[in-house]
Amino acid sequence: MSKGNKVTRRQFLSYTLTGVGGFMAAGMLTPMVRFAIDPVLKPATKGEFVAVVEESKLTSEPQRFDFTVHQVDAWYESDVTMSAWVYKKDDGSIQAMSPVCKHLGCTVTWNDPKFANEFYCPCHDGRYEKDGTNIPGTPPLAPLDLYDHKLEGGTLYLGKARPRA
């Protein structure tokens, strides 16, 4: 064996200490990293629907319904009360809208004495048509978000509120 291939005592100790040190560091860091990103590793709970109201109670007039959603935000779990304006359209389909104004997030009301048959936001006089379309010339620049929804066994279930495409 040539002299160039020999590992010196210094190199041997250096490699050994580096290997052992790296192994120990990995052993300490792995649980910490895992704890830090744990929520990311959990499967997402998507498409959760909540029973809100019996379909038979829906009319062509928007009604406000409150419902509770269990939310998981990383390590924090909570029950949050949400609201929706819901009505049946002429074709029988259901329109379920978020009451959150698309201007700065106040809550809209229906059929305000000042603006009949419209959604009205009192914060900055924002106005929306019955279907949630923002009325030009008022502060909101987008229509009210729509809830994902489904009917099952005569009950309306609502999911996430999403901006319209």
Q: Which two tokens stand for residue 20?
A: 């052992």
* Shortest reach from residue 127's CB to ligand FES, in Å: 8
Q: Does 126 bind ligand FES (CB under 6 A)?
A: yes
Question: H helices then E strands: how many in the chain?
Answer: 2, 9
* Shortest reach from residue 104's CB to ligand FES, in Å: 4
Among 104, 114, 150, 163, binds ligand FES (CB under 6 A): 104
Q: Which is nearer to ligand FES, 127 or 156 (CB)?
A: 127
Q: Does 103 bind ligand FES (CB under 6 A)?
A: yes
Q: List strands edge to edge, sheet with 94-97.
A: 50-54, 155-162, 146-152, 94-97, 76-88, 63-73
* Shortest reach from residue 138's CB to ligand FES, in Å: 7
Q: Which two tokens stand for residue 48?
A: 């959760």
Q: Does 140 bind ligand FES (CB under 6 A)?
A: yes
State the Cα–Cα distance between residues 118 and 131, nearest whole angstrom: 9
Stretch that binds ligand FES, among 44-52, 71-79, 82-90, 103-111 (CB under 6 A): 103-111
Q: Does 132 bind ligand FES (CB under 6 A)?
A: no
CB 150 within 8 A of CB 142: no
Q: How many residues bind ligand FES (CB under 6 A)?
A: 11
State the Cα–Cα distance between residues 147 and 125, nearest whole angstrom: 24
> Interface with ligand FES by CB under 6 A: which residues?
101, 103-106, 121, 123-124, 126, 139-140
